[in-house]
C-alpha cells in the first residue's frame, strides 16, 4: 500500500503540472500521512540536510566550469581542432561533432551545455555543407549525451551521493563506456551518411592542424589534470570540480581573453540559476528517500523482484527497461533521485556491482535525454538550431537505437564495463 501511495501521489502531482521538486515533496507528505507520522519539522530538517552534502558541492562548480568554457572559447577551440583532424573525410563534419562531443564531455559533464555549444557551432556548418538538418540535429543531440558518461559527470556525482557509491570509482568506470558510445554513434553516422553526396571540406594542412592543436592545448589539458588527480588521489571529485572551474576561468580570462571581467556576472548568474534548480531537486528527493526507507519500500520491491534475484542479467535487463520507460517522461536528475534509493537495495541483494550498475543506470538516463516526448537535449538542439522538434526526433532515432543496443550489450557482457574500470582504478 505504501508503494502505491508514493507512486500514485507522485504521478498525480506531475499529471497536474506540479514541478518535479514540489511533486517529490507532495509524495513525501502523502507517505507521512499514510504512516501516520506527519511532522513539518522533520520535513524541513530533511529538506535542509538533503542539500547539506560536501560531495554535492561538485555540482555547482562543474556547472560553473561548463558555463565558463562555453563563454570563454574553450569549446570553440575544441571544435576547430576536431575539424582540422577529421573534417576532410566523407561526412567529416559529423565525425567532428562526435569527436568534439567526446572531448567536451571530459570538460563539463553537462549534456545540455555541450549540446547547446555543439548545436550553435556545428549545426549551421553541417547544414551549409548539405547535410540533412534533421539528421545533423539528431547526431549532435545523440553525441551531446556522452557528457554524463565520461568524467567529470554531474550525473555520477548525484547518483554517488544518492546511492552511497564512490564517485571516483564511477568516474573511472565511465571512461571506456563513454568512448564506446562515441564509436557506436560514429559507426551509425557512417551508415546513414555514406548515401549523401556532400563534398567534404578540404583537408587541413599540417601547419593548420598544428596551429589548431596549439590553440586547443589549454582546453585539452583540463581533463588530464582532473583524471590524473582523481586517479592518484591528489584531490576528491568535489575538489576536482573547483580545480576545473578555476582553471577554466584563468584560461578564459588570461590566456584566450575571450571572457571579459564584465561578463562574469552573467556567467555566474546562469550557473547559479541552473544549480538552484538541481539542488532544490536533490533536497526534495532526499525527503522522499528518507521516507522511502522508513516505509520499507525497498524491502517490498526486493520481495516483488525475488524471482529475478538469482539471475542478475535478467534483473538488470528488467531494471534497464523500467528506467528506459521512465526516461521518456522524466528528466535525468529527478529520475536518478527517485529511483536510486529504491533500486540500490535490489541491486545489492542480487550481488550486482554498484559501480557497474551506476554506469548503466546513468547511461540509460542520459539516453532518456533524447527520447521523446520530454527529451531535454532534443529541445535544446531544436531551439538552438531553429529546427522543429519532430524533425530532430526523427533524425535522432538511428543514433538512439545504436546507444540502446550498446547499453543492452553491456547488460549481456558486464566485462565490457568492469574490466576497463579495474584498469583505470
pLDDT at 341 (0 to 100): 84
Report d(CA 98, CA 185) in Å as an integer: 7
Instruction: Give me the pLDDT at residue 198, please.
Output: 66
pTM: 0.84
Helix (H, G, I), strand (E, B) or coil at 25: helix
Instruction: Please tell me the total number of residues recorded for the chain in this structure.
Output: 425
**What pLDDT shows up at residue 52?**
76
Burial class (CB in 10 A: 0-12, 13-18, 19+), 66: buried
Q: Give 230's contacts (C-beta < 8 A, 6+ positions apart).
A: 151, 168, 171, 172, 236, 237, 240
Question: CB within 8 A of 225, min separation 6: which ones?
Answer: 243, 247
State the pLDDT at residue 170.
92
Q: Can you give the pLDDT of all 425 residues of the chain as single tens digits?
A: 666 777 778 778 877 877 777 887 887 788 778 777 777 777 788 777 777 777 778 888 888 888 888 788 887 888 888 888 877 777 778 888 898 888 888 877 778 878 888 888 888 888 877 788 889 899 999 999 998 999 888 889 889 988 889 888 999 999 999 999 999 999 999 888 877 666 667 777 888 888 988 888 888 888 888 878 877 778 888 888 888 889 889 988 888 888 888 888 988 998 888 788 778 877 877 777 777 767 766 666 667 777 777 888 999 998 999 888 888 767 788 888 888 888 888 898 889 999 999 999 999 999 988 887 667 788 788 888 888 888 888 999 999 999 999 999 999 999 999 999 888 76
pLDDT at position 132, please? 85
Give the separation between CA 10 and CA 150, rounded to whole angstroms.
31
- The helices-and-strands tally (H runs, E runs) of the chain is 20, 0
Per DSSP, the three-state class of 218 is helix
Inter-axis angle of helices 133-144 and 389-412, nearest 10: 40
d(CA 1, CA 5): 6
Q: For position 373, what pLDDT does the model report?
A: 66
Q: How far apart are CA 238 and CA 58, in angstroms?
A: 4
Residue 159's nearest CA partner among 410, 343, 386, 393 is: 343
Amino acid at each position: 500500500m505504501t508503494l502505491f501511495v508514493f507512486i500514485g501521489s507522485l504521478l498525480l502531482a506531475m499529471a497536474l503540472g506540479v514541478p518535479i521538486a514540489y511533486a517529490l515533496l507532495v509524495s513525501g507528505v502523502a507517505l507521512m500521512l499514510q504512516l501516520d507520522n506527519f511532522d513539518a519539522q522533520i520535513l524541513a530538517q530533511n529538506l535542509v540536510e538533503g542539500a547539506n552534502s560536501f560531495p554535492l558541492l561538485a555540482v555547482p562548480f562543474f556547472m560553473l566550469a561548463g558555463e565558463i568554457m562555453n563563454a570563454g572559447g574553450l569549446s570553440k577551440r575544441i571544435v576547430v581542432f576536431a575539424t582540422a583532424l577529421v573534417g576532410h573525410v566523407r561526412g567529416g563534419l559529423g565525425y567532428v561533432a562526435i569527436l568534439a562531443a567526446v572531448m567536451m564531455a571530459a570538460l563539463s559533464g553537462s549534456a545540455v551545455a555541450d549540446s547547446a555549444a555543439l548545436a550553435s557551432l556545428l549545426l549551421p556548418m553541417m547544414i551549409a555543407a548539405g547535410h540533412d538538418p534533421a539528421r545533423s540535429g539528431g547526431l549532435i543531440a545523440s553525441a551531446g549525451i556522452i557528457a554524463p558518461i565520461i568524467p567529470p559527470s554531474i550525473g555520477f556525482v548525484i547518483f554517488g551521493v544518492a546511492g552511497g557509491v564512490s564517485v571516483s570509482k564511477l568516474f573511472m568506470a565511465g571512461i571506456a563506456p563513454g568512448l564506446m558510445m562515441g564509436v557506436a554513434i560514429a559507426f551509425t553516422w557512417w551508415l546513414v551518411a555514406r548515401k549523401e553526396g556532400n563534398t567534404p571540406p578540404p583537408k587541413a594542412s599540417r601547419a593548420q592542424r598544428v596551429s589548431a592543436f596549439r590553440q586547443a592545448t589549454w582546453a585539452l589539458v583540463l581533463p588530464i589534470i582532473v583524471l590524473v588527480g582523481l586517479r592518484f588521489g591528489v584531490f576528491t571529485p568535489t575538489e576536482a570540480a573547483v580545480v576545473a572551474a578555476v582553471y577554466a576561468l584563468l584560461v578564459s580570462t588570461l590566456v584566450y581573453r575571450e571572457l571579459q571581467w564584465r561578463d562574469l556576472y552573467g556567467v555566474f548568474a546562469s550557473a547559479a540559476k541552473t544549480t538552484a534548480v538541481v539542488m532544490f531537486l536533490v533536497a526534495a528527493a532526499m525527503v522522499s528517500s528518507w521516507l522511502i526507507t522508513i516505509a520499507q519500500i525497498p524491502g517490498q520491491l526486493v520481495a516483488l523482484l525475488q524471482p529475478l534475484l538469482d539471475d542478475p542479467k535478467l534483473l538488470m535487463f528488467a531494471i534497464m527497461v523500467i528506467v528506459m520507460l521512465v526516461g521518456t517522461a522524466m528528466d535525468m536528475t529527478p529520475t536518478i533521485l527517485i529511483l536510486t534509493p529504491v533500486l540500490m537495495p535490489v541491486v545489492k541483494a542480487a550481488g550486482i556491482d554498484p559501480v557497474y550498475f551506476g554506469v548503466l543506470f546513468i547511461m540509460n538516463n542520459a539516453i532518456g535525454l533524447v527520447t521523446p516526448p520530454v527529451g531535454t537535449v532534443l529541445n535544446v538542439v531544436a531551439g538552438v538550431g531553429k529546427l522543429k522538434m519532430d524533425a530532430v526526433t526523427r533524425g535522432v532515432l538511428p543514433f538512439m537505437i545504436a546507444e540502446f543496443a550498446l547499453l543492452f550489450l553491456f547488460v549481456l557482457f558486464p566485462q565490457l564495463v568492469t574490466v576497463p574500470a579495474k584498469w583505470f582504478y
